[in-house]
Homo-oligomer: A and B are copies of this chain.
Amino acid sequence: MATRGGPKTAEAIRQAAIDSFFLHGYEATTLRDLAGEVGVKVGSLYNHISSKEELLFSIMSEVLRDLQAELDRALEGWTAPSERLRVAIECHIAFHAHRAKEVFIGNSELRSLAPDRRAVIIELRDAYEHQVRTIVEEGQASGEFYYPEPRLATFAIVAIGTHVSSWYRPDGSLSLAEVASAYADLLLRAMHNPEVQVAPGDVLAAVEADNAPDAPEAAPAG
């Protein structure tokens, strides 16, 4: 690291930020860290960024826009809900593996943004999730999917993507295509199988019996 000068400083800062925000979090990352990684003095960063938070925001908004663009492109030409859902899931998971760090940052650092910027990101995120959910609902409407909770199903897709972004590594035992395909399989199996095997257990009473913390006031990440 610490290669001297060059016009690529801005990009190096961005990469260093992605790495460190992913690894240590936004709050725990100092501009000193980034400057050191890039091989520049702290003050010099400001020739390329306007503030630490703006740097975070630009990473988050870019990755979300790319994710949306990827989904739009992937869905082109597909019409059957089952096919569209598989495509969407594969695209979602693949993207979350491929751009893991940025996507992870996007999911975990919303609370580090000031309200205005946070609202922008939330809007992008909600638009994306809404699109996925619409596919699920269309499959339900057409009778192709049996699973009765489209909101929870959509959440499952989102949750799995987020989780993938936290552990996927290109040099791991499964390729990006394998992970994406396997999770598409899992979720489509769940959507298509009409029978619930095994009756509910009775663990809920036990869990609720414990004394619990008071009710959450708000989600931490919007």
Contacts and interface: CB of A to CB of B under 8 A. Distances in A.
A139 to B, nearest CB: 11
A22 B207 contact: no
A152 interface: yes
A7 interface: no
> A interface, how many residues as a size bin?
35 or more
Interface string A1-44: 00000000000000100110011110110000000000000000
The complex is assembled from copies of this chain, and their number is 4
A221 to B, nearest CB: 6
Contacts of A204: 90, 94, 176-177, 180
A122 interface: no
Given A155-B164, A156-B183, A180-B203, 7 more contacts: A78-B201, A86-B200, A94-B204, A98-B207, A171-B215, A189-B189, A189-B196
